[in-house]
Amino acid sequence: MEFKDFLSKISQIKTILSNKSYEINDFQSIMTPKERLNYNMDLVKNPKKAAVLAFFYPKKNKTFFLLTLRANYKGAHASQISFPGGKKDKIDTNLIETALRESFEEVNIEKESVSDIIKLSKLYIPPSNFWVFPYVGISKSKPNFINNYEVEKLIEVDIDDLLNNNNITNSIITTSYAKDMNVPCFLLNNHIVWGATAMILSEIKELIKLTYDKV
């Protein structure tokens, strides 16, 4: 998708979100592992808050977004594919600031370069007891990405690969908290993208598809 075409869809997406003219659970559930579909939210106690940035930018006039391969550390989400982001800090006055601060620290996205921000739907992550608040951030130029110690690898993905249904599949996943889970996932740049990151991408994908429906 040409970046100018992507930008033309942003106002439509904002209208769709403001009108609440879709069922977010339907969008997220497309890529939700079955073990999580019927999670009992009554079990949630003292959840923490985090924010992530789904960052879109032009590359050779086409639309790309950034994913990261997290470093191998002691934690529930080590070595997984994610968006830049992290836990809300006391210095953050709101969750947008969290997403922007963490994105700068992790991959050198300067907040001044983010020209538009769209709030998506929050989702709960049981293994780490986090409510995650995702935001779409848009820049009209590609930043000079620099990853810090938390990020092993930067993954630049063409949005057309996200929109291509051939890149949806299932995979058997083993993590620090579960073994041999069969999960829906995106295959992007030869990486398996599943869990919360895939659920957020599913919402973005379905929102973009709705803009085509309205043409």
Please, which pLDDT band fits residue 87 given cuts at 50, 70 and 90?
Answer: very high
CA distance 100 to 52: 8
Q: Would you kindly state where each structural domain of the chain is located, as residue ranges?
A: 3-41+48-213
pLDDT at 215: 43
- The residue-averaged pLDDT of 55-68 equals 98
Interval 61-89 mean pLDDT? 85
Q: Is the pLDDT assigned to residue 177 strictly greater than 80?
A: no
| pLDDT tens-digit readout, 155-169 | 999 999 999 999 999
Q: What is the pLDDT of residues 93-110, one digit of tens each?
A: 999 999 999 999 999 999
Nearest-5° Cα angle at 124, 106 to 71: 30
How confident is the prediction for the chain on average, in pLDDT? 90
- Rounded to two decimals, the pTM is 0.92
Letter string b/e over residues 127-144, b meaning 16 or more CB atoms within 10 A of that residue's CB: ebebbbbbbbbbbeeebe
Binned at pLDDT 50, 70 and 90, residue 78 comes out as low
CA-closest candidate to residue 101, choices 115, 116, 90, 86: 86
Do the beta carbons of residue 54 and residue 202 sit within 8 Å? no
Averaged over 37-57, what is the pLDDT?
90
Structural tokens at position 138: 């848009």
At the second CATH level, the architecture of 3-41+48-213 is: Alpha-Beta Complex (3.90)
- 39 or 141: whose pLDDT is higher? 141
* pLDDT at position 61: 96
The residue among 199 and 24 whose pLDDT is bigger is 199
